[in-house]
Amino acid sequence: MGSEYEIVIQDGKRRPVHDVIMEGILGRPLKENEVVHHLNGEKRDNREENIQVMDRAKHIRMADGFPIKIQAVSGHVLFPLLTAVV
């Protein structure tokens, strides 16, 4: 389906790899309202040029945020942990 992404264990918690990478780029933790968006829709493509911090509400409005849209759009899921591959 293309919506899976990799998980890392950080401080004992399971976290999406792209969140950890983005925090490294930003030099700070992600805020509650921030999500990491993959520009090309490929969630395993964590190159710096493919990932972008986005406001959570704005991300939803982009219509790639909900599982119900998976087939229609690009394989994005808003609640990725539900479909994450360990």
Residues that bind Zn ion (CB under 5 A): 37, 64, 76
Closest approach of Zn ion to the CB of residue 12, in Å: 27
In sequence order, which residues have a C-beta less than 8 Å from that of residue 9 and are 6 or more positions away? Answer: 15
Closest approach of Zn ion to the CB of residue 54, in Å: 7
State the Cα angle at 81 between 79 and 83, rounded to 5°: 90
Closest approach of Zn ion to the CB of residue 76, in Å: 5
Q: How many CB atoms lie within 10 A of CB 26?
A: 12
Q: Which is nearer to Zn ion, 10 or 52 (CB)?
A: 52
Q: Which is nearer to Zn ion, 26 or 39 (CB)?
A: 39
E strands, 1-86, are 7-10, 13-16, 34-38, 51-55
Q: Which residue is nearest to Zn ion (CB)?
A: 37
Q: Which is nearer to Zn ion, 7 or 16 (CB)?
A: 16
